[in-house]
Structure 1
């Protein structure tokens, strides 16, 4: 009876010790959120708990049958990031059959033959599967100086289960964080595409997201030149040299050319053995790239370019990695399409503006042909009016309307009869009244044309006077639009300096005296002073 009591007490103490150990390990693994921190906590706790000589955690590597050392301490620390080579077959076996392996005196096992260095100061080893949700995610290795007993296996298995659950939790947390970061990256690219039409800037930001979130060494974008039917380098990230900037591939040439031609993703697991015959082979070898992806950039059914991914080691991506790569490629294609649409729109708009301006100049040329005496006047006053407008601080965006208004200032004269327009003598009161209608005719002619409406002030108001005695509406002072007040000065200045059917051109000093006399009457005094200063600088440039 006494022996049974002692055994019961002994078992209770062992269970309490086990519970205390499990509680301590659980507490240590509860706080860390990242997998790396949990791995370090696992090997540290197990090494302390069992007073072990060595401990290692090996995890499955996607797409590979081998298990890789993700955390290690003691004798096996130098295997970190590699396979635990001497124990590899056992690791795979335990991982597959999910049953622990325990060996006291491991040197007696033929599998450990010639492994005395690895088992230095180690008298027993154990390999425990890391199980979570009925799936093995790796194994836990332990090496001790003392034999490993059944109770040790039970405790080690319990701790392995806790460790596996913690690692699974960390993996879920990291996957969630990665998804959030990738969604944020896609959002940032969306914002860039929306906010900027600078294709180079957008693609540079996109490639930065590619290399950071896909954890690859380098990436580039080749744009498809539809005129030449070639792929041309536009930007890249992560390259050691600028050799790739000279890339120019025909459709079907090289891996990128094939991806564009066949409109499918090309994956090369080992570029060094791929047999690529393109001119980039030497560049790839010099850069040391191993893994490669070429993703065709397609928008609205058309090929826009190719996104290239380069990595200097083996790359075993998961489905989410590939999905994110496809999403980035889609955004790159949209960015290229948007930029090209904007370029086409700008080009069309510029061509339309040039066509409009050519039409205006055609009108003015027709007017000059009708009135030979004023030929060249329009071009001269347009140039000087723009100079004076800038001098007084008119917004640069208004210059196009000022130019058009100046070019069209006398367009209303097309409605004036030749007998009045070409008359060499003084006009009769009736003829004068008819001539003074030409600003009204200009307004009636131009106002229905929407793109010329902002330019109406000069054709309609350039004969108004500061003191209100002008025509056609007798506007006074600042009732007269600024651009019309500017133009009125330049118009009179150039007209007086030019020959007319009814008079000779005035000398420069007489013109300037007349302008000065008309300050506050015909002309805005402030604008006239600015014009005279500008004229002085133009006629007497500083050395």
Structure 2
């Protein structure tokens, strides 16, 4: 007859303490995420709790991109903060990508690099750790991210630790989705406000230079751009030049003009369609990769400014970290680009109208001046014109000024009975 082993009091007390700690951790997470809608704050709190629970040397939290095709590092504990947002992993790539694709956890107590799913990623912190546990973050039965708890030395993960980590991942999945929805709502409100302000700005009586500067500033805020710029086409030279940017970078502001078809912006104008680049520092067709590296630029979208089926310029938006521009974002940029194009076209028409009015006024003045000279000097029309032209050249005055002087002298002569010399 076998005797069932009765757990010791000390063992039961230890188990009770562990359960109490687990309940406390879950309570703290629940309290935190229920009172917090800011996504970045939620993610930071999650990694801190995971490190506390697992005694991990590091914790990395990845979220699925908007395009649902890659994971982006969004929060971490201990790795360098500059890595946030700059590390991406495709679904199925490495252990982290495998966890997201297969929607199941992976526990590796030692020699992580020996696992057949392991893939080396440049500068990825997990490659320097011996052991880690990786669990998918789920929301509404869909994967939204992955949490990795990592250890530099081999580690035996207890079942209760793994279960708690999975519970945390499931619990925060809904909070992450809520925070994402809140972020989307805020972005949508900002987009509506920006489009409204763009319309007001375009319809205002401001100088076109001020209008374009306001547009790039508002667009950069709406798109969270590292750099936003407007380049206009000089039809005479066939070159695009930077007309406005919110960037303070002198190197970017001094970028040489682009020919149509050159680099990304030139292609957008030539093809009259938006062009998206995932990483300008790795894009062969981007002409300023050294400048992009120095300025910390990554993803880019270039949208042509079109009016009456003509591309007259381009709006560029750069991010500081990898970003998959959505169809909605491109449409918003296109709407702003078209508004800017209309403002420029409107200003051009006004300037042309003013120039035509000026030319007509000068012509009328010259006709009156010629008429006076023909009457008073007995000159032919051609002789009168040549006299005005010669005096304009000799005195280095415009023909308008000479005509006005002749008419003024004629008026004085008529009033005084004098004679024009």
Name the TM-score, length of structure 1 as normaliser. Answer: 0.54
Match of 2:34 among 18, 26, 30: 30
Is 1:156 the counterpart of 2:161? The answer is no
2:322 and 2:21 mapped to 1: Cα distance? 45
Query: Are the counterparts in 1 of residues 70 and 88 from structure 2 also a CA contact under 8 Å?
Result: no
- The match for 2:251 is 241
Is 1:173 the counterpart of 2:182? The answer is yes
- The match for 2:396 is none
Cα distance, 1:27 vs. partner? 0.3
Q: For residues 347 and 163 of structure 1, do their structure 2 counterparts lie closer, same or farther at Cα, with a shift above 3 Å needed?
A: same
- The match for 1:415 is none
Q: For residues 107 and 30 of structure 1, do their structure 2 counterparts lie closer, same or farther at Cα, with a shift above 3 Å needed?
A: same
- The match for 1:261 is 270
Between stretches 130-139 and 299-308, larger displacement belongs to 299-308
1:328 and 1:92 mapped to 2: Cα distance? 37
- The match for 1:295 is 303
- The match for 1:42 is 46
Q: For residues 127 and 240 of structure 1, do their structure 2 counterparts lie closer, same or farther at Cα, with a shift above 3 Å needed?
A: same
- The match for 1:195 is 204
- The match for 1:118 is 129
Give the CA RMSD over aligned residues.
Answer: 4.7
Match of 2:214 among 186, 205, 209: 205
Q: Secondary structure at the match of 2:251?
A: coil
Q: For residues 351 and 314 of structure 1, do their structure 2 counterparts lie closer, same or farther at Cα, with a shift above 3 Å needed?
A: same
- The match for 2:110 is 106
Q: What 5-or-longer segments of structure 1 have no aligned partner?
A: 371-402, 411-490, 501-543
Cα distance, 1:130 vs. partner? 0.5
- The match for 2:146 is 139
Q: What 5-or-longer segments of structure 2 have no aligned partner?
A: 1-5, 121-125, 379-403
Map Cα deviations across residues 390-416 of structure 1 (whole Å, 9 max, x no partner): xxxxxxxxxxxxx9xx99xx9xxxxxx
Is 1:333 the counterpart of 2:337? The answer is no
Query: Are the counterparts in 1 of residues 110 and 155 from structure 2 also a CA contact under 8 Å?
Result: no
Map Cα deviations across residues 334-383 of structure 1 (whole Å, 9 max, x no partner): 2211211221232233344445656776887899799xxxxxxxxxxxxx
Q: For residues 67 and 259 of structure 1, do their structure 2 counterparts lie closer, same or farther at Cα, with a shift above 3 Å needed?
A: closer
Query: Are the counterparts in 2 of residues 223 and 304 from structure 1 also a CA contact under 8 Å?
Result: yes
2:100 and 2:202 mapped to 1: Cα distance? 47
Cα distance, 1:131 vs. partner? 0.4
1:305 and 1:174 mapped to 2: Cα distance? 31
Map Cα deviations across residues 470-490 of structure 1 (whole Å, 9 max, x no partner): xxxxxxxxxxxxxxxxxxxxx
Is the radius of gyration larger for structure 1 or structure 2? 1
Query: Are the counterparts in 1 of residues 137 and 143 from structure 2 also a CA contact under 8 Å?
Result: yes
Q: Secondary structure at the match of 1:241?
A: helix
Cα distance, 1:293 vs. partner? 4.2
1:364 and 1:168 mapped to 2: Cα distance? 83
The number of residues matched between the two structures is 366
Query: Are the counterparts in 2 of residues 256 and 294 from structure 1 also a CA contact under 8 Å?
Result: yes
Q: Secondary structure at the match of 2:133?
A: strand
- The match for 1:323 is 331
2:200 and 2:127 mapped to 1: Cα distance? 60
Cα distance, 1:132 vs. partner? 0.8
Between stretches 140-149 and 180-189, larger displacement belongs to 140-149
1:248 and 1:127 mapped to 2: Cα distance? 47
Match of 1:96 among 82, 93, 101: 101
2:219 and 2:62 mapped to 1: Cα distance? 29
1:499 and 1:13 mapped to 2: Cα distance? 117
Q: For residues 365 and 272 of structure 1, do their structure 2 counterparts lie closer, same or farther at Cα, with a shift above 3 Å needed?
A: same
Name the TM-score, length of structure 2 as normaliser. Answer: 0.68
1:109 and 1:366 mapped to 2: Cα distance? 99
Cα distance, 1:91 vs. partner? 1.7
Query: Are the counterparts in 1 of residues 252 and 291 from structure 2 also a CA contact under 8 Å?
Result: no
